[in-house]
């Protein structure tokens, strides 16, 4: 993607990595639109960041995605970057089946169907742009799962596979496909305690390293910070079993 002058749509931009990336991209000279279900959070972001735009969107509502896509390209005809960041992560006790299915199905709807539907709805527009990007925020857990969050881990594995396949199908077009692969980061994805967990990577450090990677290599396919490489390359390095045991004592 271009280093600047992009028009970027960021799902899940009301908090955490989504908000921090949106603010970083805006500071780098891009027009940014954030989406989310919590309008209060969206308003908080735009109040603190004049110039960032916000639109309500529930990525689990398939009926609203097509209408949203039509309206967003009308309002922002130069839209050329879509970052599928919205996601949920829930602890599941599979032994409690079928009681765990509600969390599993919500995770699939948000983390898999949401980005696939939105990408599909916006792809015709992106293909008409001279330089565009579809990005997916996955996770290091796509490569070494955490057993306490099985559907979340599986959903990120699915989106990694989808990104690889989409990239291959879009060869020769104006659309590039990027995967952003975070480690465990200090956000409130799994509750307030995560935001101050000393075992998690500080959010500001994660964003700074991620933006450095993207800006130094605009055609990067996978954005992997140093702290996440142990997970991302566990299979290639022959350390999968060791890393899995560390992650799942």
Residues with catalytic function = 152
Is residue 57 within 8 A of residue 13, CB to CB? The reply is no
Instruction: Measure the CA–CA gap between 240 and 143, rounded to whole angstroms.
Output: 9
Three-class secondary structure of residue 70 per DSSP: helix
Largest CA distance in the chain: 51
118, 55 Cβ separation under 8 angstroms = no
DSSP string, 203-231: HHHHHHHHHHHHHH-TT-SEEE-GGGHHH
Angle between helices 114-127 and 62-75 (to 10 degrees): 30
Q: Which two tokens stand for residue 102?
A: 């509600």
CB-based contact 107:152 (threshold 8 Å):
yes
Cα 218 to Cα 233: distance, rounded to the nearest angstrom? 22
Q: Are the CB atoms for 11 and 21 separated by under 8 Å?
A: no
- Identify which of 7, 5, 20, 4 has the alpha carbon closest to the alpha carbon of residue 195: 20
């Amino acid at each position: 993607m271009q280093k600047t002058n992009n028009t970027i749509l960021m799902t899940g931009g009301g908090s955490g990595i989504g908000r921090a990336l949106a603010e970083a991209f805006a500071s780098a000279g891009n027009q940014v639109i954030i989406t989310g279900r919590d309008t209060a959070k969206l308003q908080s972001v735009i109040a603190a960041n004049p110039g960032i735009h916000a639109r309500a969107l529930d990525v689990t509502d398939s009926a609203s995605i097509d209408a949203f896509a039509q309206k967003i390209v009308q309002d922002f005809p130069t839209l050329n970057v879509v970052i599928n960041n919205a996601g949920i992560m829930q602890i599941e006790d599979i032994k409690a089946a079928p009681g765990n299915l509600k969390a599993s199905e919500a995770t699939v709807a948000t983390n898999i169907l949401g980005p696939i539907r939105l990408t599909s709805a916006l792809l015709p527009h992106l293909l008409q742009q001279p330089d565009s990007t579809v990005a997916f925020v996955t996770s290091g857990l796509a490569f070494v799962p955490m057993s306490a969050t099985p559907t979340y881990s599986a959903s990120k594995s699915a989106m990694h596979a989808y990104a690889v396949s989409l990239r291959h199908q879009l060869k020769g077009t104006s659309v590039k496909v990027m995967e952003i692969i975070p480690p465990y980061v200090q956000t409130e994805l799994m509750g307030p305690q995560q935001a101050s967990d000393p075992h998690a990577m500080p959010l500001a450090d994660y964003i700074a390293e991620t933006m450095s990677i993207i800006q130094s290599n605009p055609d990067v396919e996978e954005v992997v910070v140093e702290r996440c490489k142990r997970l991302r390359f566990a299979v290639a390095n022959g350390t999968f079993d060791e890393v899995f045991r560390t992650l799942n004592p």
